[in-house]
Amino acid sequence: MKKRLLQYLACPECGGDIRLLSVAKEDGEEILEGDFDCVGCAKHFPVVRGVPRFAELDKIEEDKAATASSFGWEWQHFTQEDERYGDQMLGWIDPVKPEFFKDKVVLDGGCGKGRHMMLAAEWGARDVIGVDLSDAVESAFAATRSAGNMHVVQADLCRLPLKRAFDYAYTIGVIHHLIDPSVGFKSLASKIKPGGHFSVWVYGAENNRWITTIVNPLRTRFTSRINRRALLHLSKVPTAILYAATKLIYGPLNRSQGGAAIARHLFYNDYMNSISGFGWREQHTIVFDHLVAPTANYVTREEFEKWWKDAGASDVVIGWHNKNSWRGFGKING
């Protein structure tokens, strides 16, 4: 971690200031091993392999640890090299455009391997702080350490070790994996400065009945419990079906003159068309994602609207992304 991260940190227990007590190992600007404490409650937090650690998987609730562990494993076994990531992210945070990031202090709630942090920094953010509970922080740190304005923190999204210091926060495909997503929503919103903005993307309940009735029982009773390497291989079967359908039917039809009118009537067309350009690996990741997580909530528009209302947000824009998920953008007030 870089010392400039300190200005954004606060104790997750009492909100007190965090101070650096000792540095055991550093590399230029980067503190690799060290020790912090809270000025308020004197609790200690370590820096391990460059990442300040505010949560230990063996000491948090079992459901959160299981979800974090499943995604951590996934992120270490899939690589990310698709150039479509920029457009994909902009689809999730619409109406936000790259210019919006200029000079902003940005919070990435559930940063995984840091894919979106890198885009935020590329688009001009002043500082980007990525928080994740899983082991993916190791990869995120490796991917972002060379940049002076990217910071990775291991912590629980519901107990953020941060001050209310952010111009903008986004959370993409993360809080629906919490037992109660509204708690994660509230927690992230509470770190945004008055007048700052928030973007959230979650799985929708609408149009996803086939997932909640067929895939969910399979996921909770079977696929999230089996050995992950076995699941990785097993998930190639549904991926092959998905891949064939998007490459042979949905993609060509939607791109052809006259075909789009027919495609509109096909099952799940908007989404299938949106992923038809993805390669095998990306589609495999999507399928694996839906099968591995012990917790996944599919959120109704009504619930989603309520979160924004309860947070006192204004100028809220809600969109139905690919007709299967909800994205929201709004201003957080004082």
Where does this chain bind Zn ion (CB under 5 A)? 11, 13-14, 16, 38, 40-41
Q: How far is the CB of 188 from Zn ion (least distance, A)?
A: 20
- The one-letter code for the residue type at 208 is N
Q: How far is the CB of 19 from Zn ion (least distance, A)?
A: 11
- Are 130 and 108 within 8 A, CB to CB? yes
- Are 291 and 211 within 8 A, CB to CB? no
Q: How far is the CB of 76 from Zn ion (least distance, A)?
A: 32
Give the three-state DSSP class for 96. Answer: coil
Comparing CB distances to Zn ion, the nearer of 41 and 214 is: 41
- Are 93 and 73 within 8 A, CB to CB? no
Q: 99-132 burial string, b = 16+ CB within 10 Å, else e? A: ebbeebbbbbbbbbbbbbbbbbbebebebbbbbb
Residue 260, both tokens: 């789009």
Comparing CB distances to Zn ion, the nearer of 17 and 30 is: 17
How many other β-carbons are positioned within 10 Å of the β-carbon of residue 148? 12
Comparing CB distances to Zn ion, the nearer of 41 and 244 is: 41
- Are 69 and 82 within 8 A, CB to CB? no
Comparing CB distances to Zn ion, the nearer of 161 and 330 is: 161
Comparing CB distances to Zn ion, the nearer of 5 and 332 is: 5
Residue 263, both tokens: 């495609």
C-alpha–C-alpha distance, residues 166 and 197, integer Å: 9
C-alpha–C-alpha distance, residues 315 and 171, integer Å: 18
3-state helix, strand, coil in the chain (%, to 5): 45, 25, 30
Q: How far is the CB of 10 from Zn ion (least distance, A)?
A: 8
Q: How far is the CB of 51 from Zn ion (least distance, A)?
A: 19
Comparing CB distances to Zn ion, the nearer of 12 and 34 is: 12
Q: How far is the CB of 61 from Zn ion (least distance, A)?
A: 20
Q: How far is the CB of 228 from Zn ion (least distance, A)?
A: 36
- Are 42 and 19 within 8 A, CB to CB? no
Comparing CB distances to Zn ion, the nearer of 131 and 172 is: 131
Residues 6+ apart with CB under 8 A from 233: none
Q: How far is the CB of 155 from Zn ion (least distance, A)?
A: 14
Burial label for 256, CB within 10 Å (0-12, 13-18, 19+), is exposed
β pairing state of 30-38 and 44-48: antiparallel
Comparing CB distances to Zn ion, the nearer of 40 and 238 is: 40
